[in-house]
A = this chain, B = another copy of it.
Amino acid sequence: MRWIRYSLNNETNYGLLDENDRVTKINGSPLTEYELSTEKYQLSDLKLEVPIIPKTFYCVGLNYIAHIGAEGLSIPTRPEIGYRANNALIAHQEEVLMPADATAIQYEGELVVVIGKTVKNISRQEASQCIFGYTMGNDVSERNWQKQDRTFWRSKNSDTFKPMGPWIATDVALGEMQTTVAVNDVITTQFNTADMLFGIDEFISETSRYITLHAGDVIWMGTDGNSPNLQHNDRVDISLTGLGTLSNRFIKMTAE
């Protein structure tokens, strides 16, 4: 199943997306209880929204070998979760606004896990049971700020720096997924999504030793490879097998 969150006439709802791009509105939430309504739409008539606003926004910083090398960092020995901030979330086809004083903005294409059940102390073997589905994220980063600043506040959490979407798919072939990133239709990064240092099950299980994961939380699973510095008007498309394409244009702001 594919779930979208959309707006129409100033109202935001969830809908089920079928293979012909028809959307059936639901009443309720896909995470708790819902029923199908009789309202149906064409996908192209709807404004897509961020598929979920998490209670806590988790993100794995370093989880693929080539990316860690590119960042000049040491390889983690344990699955240690990190965080991003909700203010930065934008939807598929919304614009990433590059601050006027930003000089090195890069993409990071990531698989996103959406938690569906509240869990604590879950084993690696049982971890997948708390997963509702999967979507994609672009962990947009300003590399100079990332080096200069004490925290990731503006390097990774400036407004619009966290595109997520376009929808949540509940059934994917995790082991066979490719992550492909293209800038203006030219492929610039490609890697096997499964080549993670620590897998989804390991992160969920280890995190849940200390932290309750709640339905609606998201975990961004990290990225591989590296990115060029993006320019005004570049369009970045992130595609993962079975998840479609998350597409966002990058717009350079002018100083005020």
Please report A residues at the B interface, Cβ cutoff 8 Å: 53, 55-56, 61-62, 76, 80-83, 85-88, 99, 120-121, 149-151, 153-154, 157-159, 207, 209-214, 217, 256
B56 and A86 within 8 A (CB): yes
Give every chain B residue within 8 A of A88 (Cβ-Cβ): 211
Give every chain B residue within 8 A of A62 (Cβ-Cβ): 150
A120 and B61 within 8 A (CB): no
B150 and A210 within 8 A (CB): no
Give every chain B residue within 8 A of A80 (Cβ-Cβ): 149-151, 153
B153 and A207 within 8 A (CB): yes
Residue of B85, B211, B213 touching A158 (CB-CB under 8 A):
B211
Give 6 CB contacts A-B under 8 Å. A62-B150, A83-B83, A83-B85, A83-B151, A99-B210, A158-B210
CB proximity of A77 to chain B, nearest CB, Å:
10
- Nearest B residue to A159 via CB reads B212
Known contacts A87-B211, A153-B207, A158-B210; can you find 4 more A-B pairs with CB under 8 A? Answer: A81-B151, A83-B157, A153-B210, A157-B211
CB proximity of A67 to chain B, nearest CB, Å:
15
Give every chain B residue within 8 A of A212 (Cβ-Cβ): 87, 159
A81 and B153 within 8 A (CB): yes
**What's the Cα separation between A69 and B151 when bound, in Å?**
19
Give every chain B residue within 8 A of A121 (Cβ-Cβ): 256
Going nearest first, the 6 A-B pairs with the smallest beta carbon separation are A158-B210, A154-B210, A82-B151, A80-B150, A56-B85, A81-B153
Give every chain B residue within 8 A of A214 (Cβ-Cβ): 87
Give every chain B residue within 8 A of A210 (Cβ-Cβ): 99, 153-154, 157-159
A76 and B159 within 8 A (CB): no
